[in-house]
Amino acid sequence: MEKKVISKAVINRLPRYYRYLGDLLEKDVVRISSKELSERMKVTASQIRQDLNNFGGFGQQGYGYNVEYLHSEIGKILGLDKKYNVIIIGAGNLGQALANYADFERRGFFVKAIFDVNPRLVGMSIRGIEIRLMDELEEFLKTNEVDIAALTLPKTQAAQVASDLAKWGIKGIWNFAPTDFNLPKDVTVENVHLAESLMKLSYRLSVKEKEQQEKEQQ
Amino acid sequence: MEKKVISKAVINRLPRYYRYLGDLLEKDVVRISSKELSERMKVTASQIRQDLNNFGGFGQQGYGYNVEYLHSEIGKILGLDKKYNVIIIGAGNLGQALANYADFERRGFFVKAIFDVNPRLVGMSIRGIEIRLMDELEEFLKTNEVDIAALTLPKTQAAQVASDLAKWGIKGIWNFAPTDFNLPKDVTVENVHLAESLMKLSYRLSVKEKEQQEKEQQ
């Protein structure tokens, strides 16, 4: 069987296509040309066609894309036609923010439990989701099918918890701690490094500031 | 004057170098070879040398890098030798999480105020930072120098607030709303699209699942 390897750059763009198509759906747009989509997304039309051709195309020359169909097909590629059971580890502000984000459910991600080391939080619940003590985590994973663990822990604790999770069979980790893990290959880790994102912003601001200063000196 | 254009890929890696070097500093490591650094970071040593050569190198052949010096130089490239005044717009869980993250201060990002539309939150404060009503935003920006606004708002409100901020002189936006903005070129936007990150995780999980199924069928 021939297998096409999809580049990381294409995969990085897919969720954005999905988001734009979702916005169009909300506005009851039925059909869109790659040109129109490209203007909205600020990506060239040929880039869009190339990206989508990786998955078979979905469009007819001169006829545009059916928004609902394309949205649903990209959703399938992204694995959004399945349901994922999620646990959140760390019930601080960030963990609570994730638990409160109802949009995740709409896309098939269901938060089943929140864990924290702080006994004072135990028994509380967020949107009906109970906060449990970390001590219960192993037992919970034995009796519940969990696909993804979101880690909103300090970096000092995150590595140990991540390797425990791997040992207990978790295959997907959504990591918010500012650290990278050494985990078996069958565990998929997606990192959200907030501090690094902020540094990219400060980099770009300081480059612009330098350019401005150089202009003024000329 | 010759000007070197630094590729986006290099810039994306710089905050990670900075983080790793910071971890080494905390462990009192004085010097590190590109080989050692490469093993820790899971990047090839030649990649590291190439990346750093963009900025003049910082190392001596066969002698390795001085950790403190390299950390500080990369910090300068990232604009972390300056101080940034930050406001947070949206005092929900995510806004509170950002306000509570003391590490940002260590890197020069100082949260000066938090704004929200909810009058019930006004007068409360997070780590000594007052929550103010959105109505006060324009006046606040007239009397305070603000470099960066972090937007943790629903997407329905974010675009309007972003264009107001641009109008009122804000040059840096750290956007957490699941939407892109149409702003003047002198405004720098760095996006954190959490839902898109989660979709990348589900994509990778579903690819692995398919591979697993194919293996089992062989």
Whether A53 and A78 have beta carbons less than 8 Å apart is answered as: no
Per-residue pLDDT at A102: 78
Q: How far apart are the first and last CA of chain A?
A: 61
A·B CB contacts under 8 A? 170
With cut-offs at 50, 70 and 90, classify the pLDDT of residue B213. Answer: confident
Q: Report d(CA A152, CA A178) in Å as an integer.
A: 10
47-76 of B, contacting A, C-beta below 8 A: none
Q: Which residues of B touch A105 (CB under 8 A)?
A: none
CB A153 within 8 A of CB A160: no
pLDDT at A1: 41
CB count, 10 Å around CB of B218?
Answer: 4
Strand partners for B149? B87, B173
pLDDT greater than 90 at residue B57: no
Report the pLDDT value the prediction gives residue B2, as an integer from 0 to 100.
Answer: 46
B170 to chain A: nearest residue by CA?
A: A205
Residues in a beta bridge with B85: B110
Mean pLDDT of B40-48: 89
**Higher pLDDT residue, B201 or B50?**
B201
**Confidence at A59, pLDDT banded by 50, 70, 90:** low
Asked whether residue A86 carries a pLDDT value surpassing 60, the answer given is yes
pLDDT at B1: 41
Residues 167..186 of A with a Cβ closer than 8 Å to B: which?
A: 171-172, 174, 178-180, 186
**Distance (Å) from the alpha carbon of B60 to chain A's nearest alpha carbon:** 26
Q: Which residues in B lie closer than 8 A to residue A171 (C-beta atoms)?
A: 205, 208
Full-model pTM: 0.93
Residues 6+ apart with CB under 8 A from A123: A130, A131
| Average pLDDT for chain A | 92
Q: What is the mean pLDDT of residues B135-158?
A: 96
Q: Which of B15, B42, B79 sits opposite A205 (nearest CB)?
A: B79
A194/A177 Cα distance (integer angstroms): 9
Q: Residue A188 is nearest to which of B15, B104, B205, comparing CB atoms?
A: B205
What mean pLDDT do residues B85-96 have?
96
Check residue A2 and give its pLDDT: 46
pLDDT band at A95 (very low <50, low <70, confident <90, very high): very high
Write out pLDDT tens, residues A122-172.
889 999 999 999 999 999 999 999 999 999 999 999 999 999 999 999 999
Q: Looking at CA atoms only, how far is residue A139 from chain B in angstroms? A: 23
- What whole-number distance in Å separates Cα of residue B119 and Cα of residue A60? 52
Question: Which pLDDT belongs to residue B123?
Answer: 87
φ/ψ bin of B123: left (φ > 0), alpha (ψ from -120 to 50), beta (otherwise): left
Can you tell me the mean pLDDT for A67-75? Answer: 93
Chosen for mutation from B93, B101, B156, B182 (greatest number of chain A CBs closer than 10 Å) is B93
A118-147 core/surface letters (b: 16 or more CB in 10 A; e: else): eeebbeeebeebebbebeebeeebeeeebb
Give the tens place of pLDDT for each residue, A6-47.
888 888 899 999 999 999 999 999 999 888 999 999 889 888
CB contact under 8 A, A16 and B196: yes
Q: Over range B28-57, report the average pLDDT.
A: 88
* A15, A203, A209 member nearest B199 (Cβ): A15
The pLDDT of residue B61 is 64
| Residue B106 touches partner A, C-beta closer than 8 Å | no
Question: What is the secondary structure of B40-82 as a DSSP string?
Answer: HHTS-HHHHHHHHHTTT---BTTTBEEHHHHHHHHHHHTTTTS
In order of their start, the domains of chain B are 8-77 (1.10.10.10), 84-196 (3.40.50.720)
Question: How much of chain B, in percent, has pLDDT values that exceed 90?
Answer: 72
Q: Can you name the residues that pair with B64 across neighbouring β-strands? A: B60
- Give chain A positions within 8 Å (CB) of B147: 205
Average pLDDT over residues B68-73: 93
**Given an 8 Å threshold on Cβ–Cβ distance, is B12 in contact with A198?**
no
Query: For chain B, how far is it from start to end, CA to CA, in angstroms?
Result: 61
Ranking B58-67, B171-180, B199-208 by mean pLDDT, the lowest is: B58-67
pLDDT at B56: 75
The alpha-carbon gap from A61 to the nearest alpha carbon of chain B, in Å, equals 28
